[in-house]
């Protein structure tokens, strides 16, 4: 599995939501979060996808459009850490009710 994170301009969020509503995205799973909700002082959103390389080869072009860029380097590490932390907090909260 490979993790890729895309930075999405605010004006492109609805287009990304439409693209990721396709069945193959829903079956694979993804996370779309506002940068501000993750603690970053930016207007963009982040699309976090953990999928096999074959998935990206077949479907990455659907989301890698004008206004969307691949996140790399330190920014990738920071965003991944923020999303992973958020998901772990949710999982911990659910476990309390289990």
Distances (CA, A) of 25 to 38, 44, 71: 22, 21, 19
Q: Cβ atoms within 10 A of the Cβ of 44, count? A: 20
Which pTM does this prediction carry? 0.89
CA-to-CA distance for 56 and 59, rounded, in angstroms? 5
Question: Among all chains, which residue has been given the structure tokens 């694979």?
Answer: 28
User: Of 68 and 1, which is predicted with more confidence?
Assistant: 68
pLDDT 10s digits, 57-77: 999 999 999 999 999 999 999
Helix (H) or strand (E) holding 50, with range, is strand 45-51
Q: Identify the CATH class of 2-97.
A: alpha beta
Which residues face 47 on adjacent strands?
6, 32
């Amino acid at each position: 599995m490979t993790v890729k994170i895309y930075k999405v301009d605010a004006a492109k969020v609805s287009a990304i939501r439409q693209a990721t509503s396709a069945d193959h995205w829903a079956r694979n799973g993804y996370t779309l979060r506002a940068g501000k909700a993750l603690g970053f002082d930016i207007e963009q959103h982040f699309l976090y996808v953990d999928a096999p390389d074959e998935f990206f080869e077949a479907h990455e072009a659907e989301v890698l459009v004008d206004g969307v860029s691949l996140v790399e380097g330190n920014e990738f590490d920071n965003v991944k850490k923020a999303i992973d932390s958020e998901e772990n907090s949710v999982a911990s909260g659910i476990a309390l009710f289990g």
